[in-house]
Amino acid sequence: MLTRFKSVPSRCMRAVYLDNLRTTPRNLIYHAPRKPASNTTFETHARGYVTAAGDPVAFGQRHVTKGIGRLTDAIMTKGEGSYVHFHDGRRLLDFTCGIGVTNLGHCHTKVSKAAADQCMELVHCQCNISFHYPTIRLIEKLIPVMPDPTLDSFYFWNSGSEAVEGAMKMARTITGRQNIICMQGGYHGRTYGAMAVTRSKTSYSEGFFPLMPGAFSTSFPFWHQLGLAPDTPEEELVRLALYQLDLVLKQQTSPSDTAAIIIEPVLGEGGYIPAPSAFLKGLRGVCDAHGILLIIDEVQSGFGRTGKMFNVEYSGVRPDIMVMAKGLANGFPLSCIVSRKELTDKLKSGSMGGTYAGNAVSCAAAVAVVDVFQKENILDNVNARSKELIGALRNLQTCPEVGGNIVDVRGQGLMVGVEFASPSYPAQDLVLNRSAPRGLASRVAERCMEKGMLILTASVYEVIRFIPPLNVTAEDLKKGCEIFAEAVKEVIREV
């Protein structure tokens, strides 16, 4: 027998909501506060537990762990290409791709079919028990697209965080050293080791200390972080960042204690900032001089996101270890650590493993992803749409109605960030604008959703990031740019 009861009184829920709104850190990735359902009723099973039949959204709000932030509390019911559907009837253009995961759009027919076919053959084969064919086929597909031919030893896992954890384990045991140097502004995940080298926001590690020991940070060549003007020459940014790295090696962790330097070639959660090629080459030189391993984190920037299969190809720098995930299997959980066999041969048998590592269904999906990239000319589309996207955003930047409230448009391929002016930056920041509207990034992102497009913020700065599907059409890209431009102008006019 089912009975109904009223949820928490709305006045009390509103007080909690307002309190959360006041205390929420500015510019989280997921910025929209959770609005409690009004006049919600729950259905209760005769044994006493609440069911989702009465109001599934309210059920989720009640029972899903509070530590998960969301862009919206609506229920996503379907994805198709560049669009997603919600339970309330809305169909929204998706320029988030699940934070850079569904690079080929939602439910790509070839990828989904490959996974479905594999489900009827073999779903799970634990990696410490035997090989399975999808792993072998995937390695065969990946070797030719690696950024360097020396990258020939593969280990598959589930998430980007796990891949980072595994890469650091490898670096420590291969070198016999402990310390890892990471970048200010870098993001590598939420597990304990990955969290220790994540420096994009304190909100990811706040309250969880002590973290993994032996993690040190150095400056990324980004004008904000160095306290310089946006038009500072790249050569000067690189010079200052490499100088700071030299000081870290002299003052904090000696080269003989340093196992690896880890870097995203494009800062992701840190604000969508590409690393200059000269900086990556400088890191390669430092690593070669001191026997330090260079870990390139291509979790978000890899698999075509920036116009090449891997962003590090722009610099020609050889990684010692590279990690990838997100777009690798277009929505199926899969990550990869790739290195040189001469290095991974130093690992003890049994030191790597995981229950679901390299799942057969996910690997089969990834095989199809590589095929689609090649057969559907995905990179050509990325580079063509990139020019249109960056051009539209820079036109908006100079629009009189925007009035100088866009201070930067940056990125590569279809990994593009827009930074707004802010009155909340530190007094020392050269782009502090006390007359600018507050919270532009989160307000514009929310307005975009109201107008029919999902888009995300990033970093401690006022940044919105564009992550559309890599096979997005010119028409859908234009539609997204128009929604964004309308949202920006409306929010600025409201002040």
Domains defined along the chain, listed by start: 3-55 (no CATH), 79-107+377-493 (3.90.1150.10), 109-375 (3.40.640.10)
Distance of alpha carbon 4 from alpha carbon 325, whole angstroms:
44
Distance of alpha carbon 342 from alpha carbon 339, whole angstroms:
9
Q: How many CB atoms lie within 10 A of CB 363?
A: 28
Cβ pair 442, 418 in contact under 8 A:
no
Percentages helix, strand, coil for the chain (3-state, rounded to 5) are 40, 20, 45
Per-residue tens of pLDDT for the chain, all 495 residues: 333 333 333 334 334 333 443 333 333 333 344 444 444 555 666 565 666 767 888 888 888 998 888 999 999 999 999 999 999 999 999 999 999 999 999 999 999 999 999 999 999 999 999 999 999 999 999 999 999 999 999 999 999 999 999 999 999 999 999 999 999 999 999 999 999 999 999 988 989 899 999 999 999 999 999 999 999 999 999 999 999 999 999 999 999 999 999 999 999 999 999 999 999 999 999 999 999 999 999 999 999 999 999 999 999 999 999 999 999 999 999 999 999 999 999 999 999 999 999 999 999 999 999 999 999 999 999 999 999 999 999 999 999 999 999 999 999 999 999 999 999 999 999 999 999 999 999 999 999 999 999 999 999 999 999 999 999 999 999 999 999 999 999 999 996
Q: Is the pTM of this model over 0.75?
A: yes
Query: pLDDT at position 10, please?
Result: 39
Distance of alpha carbon 8 from alpha carbon 403, whole angstroms:
45
Query: pLDDT at position 433, please?
Result: 94
Point out which residues pair with 154 in neighbouring strands. 338
Give exposure, 335-345, as e/b (b: 16+ Cβ within 10 Å).
bbbbbbeebbe
User: Is residue 378 helix, strand or coil?
Assistant: helix
Point out which residues pair with 267 in neighbouring strands. 273
Residues in Cβ contact with 185 at an 8 Å cutoff, skipping those fewer than 6 apart: 199, 200, 220, 222, 225, 267, 270, 271, 273, 459
The secondary structure of the chain, three-state, reads: CCEEEECCCHHHHHHHHHHHHHHCCCCCCCCCCCCCCCCCEEEECCCCCEECCCCHHHHHHHHCCCCCCCCCCCCEEEEEECEEEECCCCEEEECCHHHHCCCCCECCHHHHHHHHHHHCCCCCCCCCCCCCHHHHHHHHHHHHHCCCCCCCEEEEECCHHHHHHHHHHHHHHHHCCCEEEEECCCCCCCCHHHHHCCCCCHHHCCCCCCCCCCEEEECCCCCCCCCCCCCCCHHHHHHHHHHHHHHHHHHCCCHHHEEEEEECCEECCCCCEECCHHHHHHHHHHHHHHCCEEEEECCCCCCCCCCCCCHHHHCCCCCCEEEECHHHCCCCCCEEEEECHHHHCCCCCCCCCCCCCCCHHHHHHHHHHHHHHHHCCHHHHHHHHHHHHHHHHHHHHCCCCCCCCEEEEEEECCEEEEEECECCCCCCCCCECCCCCCCHHHHHHHHHHHHCEECEEECCCCEEEECCCCCCCHHHHHHHHHHHHHHHHHHHHCC
How far is Cα of residue 366 from the mean position of the Cα atoms in its chain? 18
Closest of 396, 426, 413 to residue 489, by C-alpha:
396
Distance of alpha carbon 492 from alpha carbon 176, whole angstroms:
55
Q: What is the DSSP string of 269-291?
A: TTTSEEPPHHHHHHHHHHHHHHT
Query: pLDDT at position 30, please?
Result: 34
Distance of alpha carbon 431 from alpha carbon 467, whole angstroms:
25
User: Is residue 452 helix, strand or coil?
Assistant: coil
